[in-house]
């Protein structure tokens, strides 16, 4: 005889609650057995069963011949209605589970766009030097700061797109992956050149355009189903 079975034989009133809560067949069988000799548990069990029996009678059935025609009409009206912008927007969510990721991607997109705009506005800062292509130390510092934040935002976007790219099964996603690889090597080359000549505004704008291209590609990847 198992310990569990022994336990059931020694059922005492204190586990009545557990038996009624869990409603496991073993516990209920033990409770029934115990109730034959215990009046309070028998009463409790009977009340419990009376409630269940009375509940069955709460099921209601009635004829409603007009209901289906009404539903059919409203469904047909709904199907004939052109889809509003809300529906199209809702379609972008695609999978409900992805909603937070889409929200995060949007946030990153807004931050990246802001940084990009700031970067663009400051890239043509006129310098006191005669050479328009060269930046001052202070301007370089500002641009590098903005660039760093922009890079971080794009890195976040890249992390979000990474699982999709790793599992790329469609030709389109594979193309995106190749394009991103090319962009990464172009960015890396551009950054190496910039390290040699940090004040070169032309190289900075090149780098920015690569980042912008990467940002757009990542967004396209995230939108891809």
Partner 1 sequence: MPRLDDPAAESLRVEARAEDARLSAGCRAGSIEAYEELYRAQSTRMKSIAMNLLGNAHDAEDVVQETFLKIHRGIRYFKGQSAFSTWTYRILVNCCYDMRRKKTRRMETAEQDLVAEDQTFDSPAPMHDHPLRMALEKCVQQLTPYLRSVFLLYEVEGFKHAEIGLMLGISEMASKNALYQAKRKLRELLSQQAGSGQMAASQS
Shortest CB 138 distance to partner 1, Å? 53
Nearer to partner 1, 17 or 178 (CB): 17
Among residues 56, 92, 100, 225, which is the contact residue for partner 1, using CB under 8 A? 56
Nearer to partner 1, 64 or 166 (CB): 64
Q: Which residues lie below 8 Å from residue 32, measured CB to CB, with a gap of 6+?
A: 45
Burial 152-188, CB ≥16 within 10 A → b, else e: ebbebbbebbeebbeebeeeebeebbeebeebeebbe
Residues within window 58-87 making contact with partner 1, judged by CB under 8 A? 58-62, 64, 67-68, 70-72, 74-76, 78-79
Residue 200: helix, strand or coil by DSSP? strand
Nearer to partner 1, 68 or 196 (CB): 68
Cα(182)–Cα(100) distance, rounded to whole angstroms? 29
Nearer to partner 1, 6 or 59 (CB): 59
Cα(163)–Cα(176) distance, rounded to whole angstroms? 13
Q: How many CB atoms lie within 10 A of CB 103?
A: 11
Shortest CB 16 distance to partner 1, Å? 11
Residue 102 binds partner 1, judged by CB under 8 A: no
Nearer to partner 1, 60 or 196 (CB): 60
Q: Which two tokens stand for residue 89?
A: 């927007």
Which residues of this chain interact with partner 1, rule CB under 8 A?
A: 17, 20-23, 47-48, 50-62, 64, 67-68, 70-72, 74-76, 78-79, 91, 95-96
């Amino acid at each position: 005889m198992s310990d569990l079975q022994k336990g059931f034989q020694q059922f005492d009133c204190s586990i009545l609650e557990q038996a009624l809560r869990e409603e496991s067949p073993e516990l209920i069988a033990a409770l029934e057995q115990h109730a034959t000799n215990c009046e309070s548990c028998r009463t409790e069990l009977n009340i419990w069963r009376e409630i269940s029996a009375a509940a069955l009678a709460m099921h209601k059935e009635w004829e409603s011949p007009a209901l289906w025609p009404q539903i059919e009409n409203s469904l047909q009206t709904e199907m004939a209605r052109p889809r509003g912008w809300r529906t199209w927007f809702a379609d972008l969510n695609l999978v409900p589970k992805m909603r937070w990721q889409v929200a995060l991607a949007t946030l990153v997109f807004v931050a990246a766009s802001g940084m990009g705009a700031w970067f663009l506005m400051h890239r043509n800062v006129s310098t006191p030097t005669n050479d328009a292509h060269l930046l001052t130390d202070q301007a370089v510092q500002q641009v590098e700061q903005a660039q760093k934040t922009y890079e971080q935002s794009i890195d976040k976007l890249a992390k979000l797109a990474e699982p999709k790219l790793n599992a790329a099964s469609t030709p389109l996603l594979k193309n995106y992956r190749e394009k991103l690889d090319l962009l990464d090597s172009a960015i890396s080359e551009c950054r190496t050149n910039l390290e040699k000549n940090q004040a070169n505004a032309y190289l900075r704008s090149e780098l920015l355009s690569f980042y912008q291209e990467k940002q757009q590609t990542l967004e396209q990847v995230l939108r891809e189903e």
